[in-house]
Amino acid sequence: MFTPLLQPRLSEAAAMNFSYLKTPSGILKLFEIALVVADVVILRHQGVGGFGGTPAAITNNSYFGASVPIAALIVTPLLLAVYLAGNMNIQKSFFEPVINAFFGASLFVYGCLAIDFYRKMSTIITIRDYGLAMGSLSLIAGFAYLADLFFAIKAMRS
């Protein structure tokens, strides 16, 4: 029976790079995922994503508020999965710094807009509280992505 010389053993093929989770960037990725999941849950189940003074502002904030956390929820776990699979070559490209800068800035801006809008609302207290929680989570997630940007640039230059 023919056996190829380069056939990897199952343990080598299924090996995961869990040591990445011990790095600051790995810890931040897990933190970012947790924050964005909580943000999307509040956004989806409490309906606090659309806010603003005019119908156009409400529509713009709804699209912006729904698209950025959901995009982060798609991209960040995929990036973490690539690192856990052992492909560290992506750290030498501009992909991760650009993604972290975009999500950091977008979530930071959305968090500031949400907090500014919902802190003035006093008619429906529960909606106000959910809106402030969503804005705070977005703001903290933005800071986490910006911190991850620092580590991504540091890894890219090394």
Separation CA 152–CA 134 (nearest Å): 26
- Segments forming the whole domain that contains residue 86: 19-157
pTM for this entry:
0.83
Nearest of 53, 45, 64 to residue 109 by alpha carbon: 64
Cβ(135)–Cβ(111) below 8 Å: yes
Per the listing, tokens 């659309």 go with 50
110 located within any domain: yes
140 located within any domain: yes
Separation CA 111–CA 65 (nearest Å): 9
Total domains, the chain: 1
29 located within any domain: yes
pLDDT bucket at 97, cuts 50 / 70 / 90? very high
Nearest of 33, 101, 19 to residue 70 by alpha carbon: 33
Separation CA 95–CA 33 (nearest Å): 18
3 located within any domain: no
pLDDT bucket at 121, cuts 50 / 70 / 90? confident
83 located within any domain: yes
- For residue range 39-76, what is the model confidence (pLDDT) as tens digits? 988 888 876 766 666 666 666 777 777 789 999 999 99
Q: Which amino acid makes up residue 4?
A: P
Separation CA 12–CA 90 (nearest Å): 21
| Mean of the per-residue pLDDT values of the chain | 84
* CA angle centred on 142, ends 93 and 25, rounded to 5°: 45
Nearest of 151, 6, 1 to residue 79 by alpha carbon: 151
